[in-house]
Amino acid sequence: MMLRRSFPFLIIGIVVIASVASGYSYVAPLFSAYNRVNSSVIVIKIPKGSSMVPTGFSVHEFQANFVNGSYDFPVNVSVRIGANNTIEWVNYDTTSHDVTALVFPAGAVRFNSGFFGEGKTFSASLTVPGVYKYTCAWHNWLAGQITVKSA
């Protein structure tokens, strides 16, 4: 039973090591790979099982270091897009999640999805260049960073 529960994390570890070794900069163990729907929409998928706490996650470390960037997120999604583009999160998990910006550039509107359930989506149009850091309020390990570059 323990092997069955550990297997997804073993696969995640292999993917992370392979991506680091290849120099590929996108690492998202619990978010599945994002894909561009069209020239202005990027989709980030929240897969089934994302509500399970990853091994080694510390809420205290997360809360103490999220804003200043010194926390090495177990899950981190970073995308670079031009201004005036949209990010869409799709929840494939059986648990509700939310997407809340805790860090965002001056002049930007703070996004907060509220909880959205399985099969539901949330979109945010990012129009101000800068760094946006977000997390799920109940599942802090589902955190990421979006860097919006000037068009």
User: Would you list the domain boundaries of the chain?
Assistant: 30-149
Q: Mind listing the pLDDT tens digit for each residue in 10-68?
A: 333 333 333 333 332 333 344 555 555 556 688 888 989 999 998 888 888 888 887 77
Share of the chain above pLDDT 70, in %: 66
* CATH superfamily entry for domain 30-149: Cupredoxins -  blue copper proteins (2.60.40.420)
The secondary element (H helix, E strand) that includes residue 135 is strand 130-135
Using alpha carbons, list the distances in angstroms from residue 145 to 6, 11, 109, 114.
27, 23, 16, 18
Share of the chain above pLDDT 90, in %: 29
What is the average pLDDT across 104-128?
95
Q: What is the pLDDT of residue 10?
A: 34
DSSP 68: T
At residue 35, what are phi and psi to the nearest 5 degrees? -145, 150
Task: Give the number of C-alpha atoms closer than 13 A to the C-alpha of residue 5, restricted to the C-beta side.
Answer: 6
